[in-house]
Amino acid sequence: MNEQPWRAFLVDDHPAMRQVLSLLLERHGFAASVEADCAQEAMQRLPSLEIDLAVVDLSFERDKGFDLIAALHQRRIPVVVYSMHEDGGHIDRSLECGANAYISKREDSDTLLHGIMEVIQGRDYLSPRIRQAIKSRPSEMSSLPRCSERELQILKMLGEGKGNSDIAEALDLSVRTVESYGARINDKLGLSGMKELRRFAILHFRSLDDFSQ
């Protein structure tokens, strides 16, 4: 055990999961963990914490989990994402925001512990299921620019045949905002207008489906 045990920050909305993680880490050289049950609480506590790494779930509303990863990265605190999400959208955005490791909750505790120790030692880590998920992406997905979750959500709804007003109502946005999202997606995809964007969304609907989970 270290002379000064590592301290982990556990951010997960399930108390039982936090308890299991805390016990696992304490058995392997960590001090008692600091905990938060949502990204908002974690962000509020972050300025006063002295921690060596954070283990973060992504099951929070909107993009709060990604905001938290970015805030931790800005403070140079290593981040291990421990999530049920194995789709490209969550993986890519987590890594873009500064996550050092991404581990699926479907993997065993030894894999999690191995990933955490890799990060503690200054190395990045992707668990076996996550590496396989990346390798298994449809070939056309690799050429798509990285879109935000909201942009992917709108693309999916366009692919389902919904109009701008339907999308605006479903997402509680204005039609103008949906149109702005469409314009940004067009720029990222190199498309010329809404008609071409709709055609693209319908054509690639199945391959985009995993990104919206």
The two three-digit tokens of residue 34, written as one number = 């600091």
The CATH code of the domain at 8-135 is 3.40.50.2300
Q: What does the domain layout of the chain look like in residue ranges?
A: 8-135, 142-212
Q: HEC states along the chain?
A: CCCCCECEEEECCCHHHHHHHHHHHHCCCECCCEEECCHHHHHHHHHHCCCCEEEECCCCCCCHHHHHHHHHHHCCCCEEEEECCCCHHHHHHHHHHCCCEEEECCCCHHHHHHHHHHHHCCCCEECHHHHHHHHCCCHHHHHCCCCCHHHHHHHHHHHCCCCHHHHHHHHCCCHHHHHHHHHHHHHHHCCCCHHHHHHHHHHCHHHHHHHHC
Structure tokens at 23: 């016990």
Q: What's the average model confidence in pLDDT over 96-113?
A: 92
- For the cut 50, the answer to whether the pLDDT of residue 127 exceeds it is yes
Residues 209 and 142: their CA atoms lie apart, in Å, by 15
Q: Check for a shared fold between 8-135 and 142-212.
A: no
Per the listing, tokens 């709060």 go with 64
Write out pLDDT tens, residues 136-179.
Answer: 765 444 445 677 888 888 988 887 778 899 999 999 999 999 99
Q: For 142-212, which CATH class?
A: mainly alpha
Residue 212 has a pLDDT of 28
